[in-house]
């Protein structure tokens, strides 16, 4: 089973990934490719350089480059029960859906721009100003083709409450809906 968390910056993907990790999932963060590339290029980790790398990698290798690289890890390590933190472009979604079929599910995490920008401004690592938040939102929609992945999600969680409420909702969705459906399909296929 491969679950991808999709959502705009500050929606709660990292918190959701931490909950999935506690449930036994291996978490692969697609942004690690950006971090690795920043290191290779000797660039400081900040919003401007991260955007440069994200857009440059996709321009050079195609919009699905992050999905292709992460699927190589999944297949090489023969990973099961994987969570992908930060699937963005619609092309990434299509690549992963075509490669993994029914084993691949997307959970879109939704929060208002005001809530997300407030979170991004308060985070300990790389806090963003309101202008940086707005600029990043525009870039993710216009340059990274992010909206399609969110629109095609199998499940949606609105993250406007407390962190604890959100964590409980993530755990419940994974345990009571996704795992339950996945196990019932596996059992039916085994009998058929």
State pLDDT tens for residues 108-142.
999 999 999 999 999 998 899 999 999 999 999 99
pLDDT digits (tens, 9 = 90+) for 32-46: 999 999 999 999 999
Q: Which domain holds residue 95?
A: 2-191
Mean pLDDT for the chain overall: 92
Domains in the chain: how many in total?
1
- Return the HEC string of the chain: CEEEEECCCCCCHHHHHHHHHHCCCEEEECHHHHHHHHHHHCCCCCHHHHHHHHHHHHHHHCCCHHHHHHHHHHHHCCCCCEEEECCCCHHHHHHHHHHHHHHEEEEEEECCHHHHHHHHHHCCCCCCCHHHHHHHHHHHHHCCCCHHHHHCCCEEEECCCCHHHHHHHHHHHHHHHHHHHHHHHHHHHHHC
CATH number of domain containing 53: 3.40.50.300
């Amino acid at each position: 089973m491969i679950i991808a968390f999709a959502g705009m910056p500050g929606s709660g993907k990292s918190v959701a990934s931490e909950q999935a990790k506690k449930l036994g999932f291996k978490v692969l963060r697609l942004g690690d490719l950006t971090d690795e590339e920043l290191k290779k290029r000797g660039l400081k980790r900040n919003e401007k350089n991260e955007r440069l790398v994200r857009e440059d990698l996709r321009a050079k290798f195609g919009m699905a480059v992050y999905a292709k690289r992460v699927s190589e890890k999944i297949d090489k390590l023969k990973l099961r029960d994987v969570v992908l933190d930060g699937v963005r472009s619609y092309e990434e979604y299509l690549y992963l859906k075509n490669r993994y079929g029914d084993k691949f599910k997307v959970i879109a995490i939704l929060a208002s721009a005001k809530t997300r920008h407030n979170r991004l401004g308060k985070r300990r690592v790389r806090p963003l100003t309101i202008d940086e938040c707005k600029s990043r939102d525009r870039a993710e929609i216009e340059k990274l083709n992010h909206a399609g992945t969110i629109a095609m999600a199998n499940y949606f969680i609105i993250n406007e409450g407390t962190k604890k409420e959100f964590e409980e909702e993530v755990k419940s969705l994974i345990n009571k809906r996704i795992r339950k459906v996945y196990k019932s399909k596996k059992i039916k296929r085994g009998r058929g």
